[in-house]
Amino acid sequence: MGFKSLLASLLLVSVASAQLTGHVGPTTPLSSKQGTICNVLNYGGSIGSDDIGPAINSAFTNCVTKHSGSTLYVPAGNYNMKTWVTLKDASKWAFRLDGLITRAATTGGNMIAIQNADDFEFYSANSAGGIQGFGYQCRNAGPRLIRMVTSTNWSVHDLILVDSPEFHLVIQAGSNGEVYNMAIRGANMGGSDGVDVWGSNHWIHDVEVTNRDECVTVKSPANNILVERIWCNQSGGSAIGSLSDGTAIQDIVYRNVYTNGGNQAFMIKSNLGSGYVRNVLFQNFISRGVAYGLNVNQYWSSQSPGTGAGVQLSNITFQNWNGNVADGVKRPPIQLICADGAPCYDITLSNVNMWSQTDKAIVKCESAFGSGVSCIHSGSSHTSYAVVTQSATRPAGYSTPTTMSGDLSDGFATNAAIPTPTIPTSFFPGLAQISPLAKNK
C-alpha cells in the first residue's frame, strides 16, 4: 500500500472511531424498572378515553416520581389525547406505550415531552404502540409528537409515529441516547421531519421514515453521533443542517443509509453563517430515483442567509456510494457548492458511484477542495473559485441500485389520513436490524 493510500485509510479509521464516546441507552436493565407498574387505567384513564393526557400526567406525578424503578403503562387499545404532557426530572423509570394515542386537539408544543430524564426507556412491548397525529387536519399548526429534552442515558424504541402536524421525533441536546426500531410516516410535504437530533453521544439506528422533509438529520450543536441502518422510504432524505451562525458539529458517522425516492441521498445545507462541521464519515449509501444525490449546498436558497462568511466544512469523507438521481442534468448526482468565504477542504469521495436514470449527468463544484470527483480542486491553498460544471460519465463501479420489498412508489397525501404501519425488521438491503423487535424478545 502506498503512503497516500495508507494515510487515507488511517484517516477513515480515525473518523469512524470518533462516532460514539461510550455507553448509550439506560444504565440499568428494563427489569429493574418494573417494581411498580403505574397503569394509567388506575389514574383516571380508560381505554377509548377522549383525553388520556391527564391520566398520563397523574400516573407520572403520583406514581413514577414516588417510586424509583417504576413503569408508566398505557395498555393496548385506542386513546384520544387533548392535553399535552411534560414529564420531567425523574430517573430510573420507563414509559411503556402499548396503545395507540390519537391527537385530538390543535394546541402547539409537544404531545409528549420527556425532560431531564436519566436512566429512562420509552418503548412499546408489543411493537405496535405509538401516536397517530392526523396532521392532515391541522397541517403545520399543531403539536410535535415526541420530544426528548436534555435527557441522559435513555432509549426510545419500538414505537410508531404517524402524520404529525409538525415534526415527529425531536432529540433536543442531552447525551447517551439511543433510538431504534421505529416506523415514522409523514405526509408528502415539508415541515414533517422524521428525526431531528442534536446533543452528544447519540445512536440512531434501524429507523424507517416516509415524509417529504428531513429523514434523520443532525442539527447544531452536535458531536459524536452515529446514524446507521436508516430507510428513507419516499422521504426528503437525511441531512446535516440547516446550518447558520455559530455552527458546532463534529465527529459524526452515517452508514448503511438506503433512500428510495425523495429529495436527496444526503445534503449538507446552509446559507453563509459561521462555525464548523468537521470529521464526518458517510459510508455505504444506496439511493434510487432521488432528486439530488450527494448534495452540499452552502448557498441554499430556502434558508435566510447567516451573518458570517460561511460554515467551514473540513475532513468529510463519502465512501462506498451507489445510486441514481432522476435527472442528472437537471439536478447533479454530485454537487459540492461550498461557501466562497470559507472554502471546504479535505473533502474525499472514495468509491462513490452516483449516476442518473436518464443516463446523462453533470457534476458541480464551487470552492471545494479534496479528491474523488472531476470538478473538485486539489492543493493546500484553499482559494475560492466560481462554479465548475462538467459533464459526467457513468462510473465504472455503478450498478442498478437494489430494492427493498417495502419500497413505496409515492409519498402519502397531505389531505387524508395516513395508515398506521408496522415496524419492519430490516432497514438496509441485506442487513437485519441490530436489536430484535421488543415483541420478539
The residues carrying an active-site annotation are 213
For residue 384, what is its C-alpha cell?
475560492
- Please state, as a whole number, how many other Cβ atoms lie within 10 Å of the Cβ of residue 420: 17
For residue 184, what is its C-alpha cell?
415514522
Nearest Cα neighbor of 170 from 109, 252, 80 is: 109
Burial per residue of 196-231, b for 16 or more beta-carbon CB atoms within 10 angstroms, e otherwise:
bbbbbbbbbbbbbbbbbbbbbbbbbebbbbbbbbbb
Grid-cell match 446533543, residue found: 199
Cα gap 148→145, rounded to integer Å: 10
* DSSP string over 101-159: EEE----SSEEEEEES-EEEEEE-TTS--EEE--GGGSTTSS-EEEEEES-EEEEEES-
Helix (H, G, I), strand (E, B), or coil: what is residue 156? strand
For residue 201, what is its C-alpha cell?
453521544
Burial per residue of 281-300, b for 16 or more beta-carbon CB atoms within 10 angstroms, e otherwise:
bbbbbbbbbbbbbbbbbbbb
Grid-cell match 485509510, residue found: 9
Nearest Cα neighbor of 331 from 367, 369, 358 is: 358
8 Å CB contact between 271 and 241: no
Q: What angle do CA 109, 305, 347 make, to 5 degrees?
A: 100
For residue 290, what is its C-alpha cell?
432521488
Nearest Cα neighbor of 235 from 212, 218, 267, 217 is: 212
8 Å CB contact between 396 and 364: no
Helix (H, G, I), strand (E, B), or coil: what is residue 30? helix
Nearest Cα neighbor of 129 from 27, 52, 188 is: 52
Running DSSP on this structure, what letter comes out for residue 195? Answer: E
8 Å CB contact between 206 and 235: no
Cα gap 226→277, rounded to integer Å: 15
Q: Label residue 139 exposed, middle or buried (CB < 10 Å: 0-12, 13-18, 19+).
A: middle
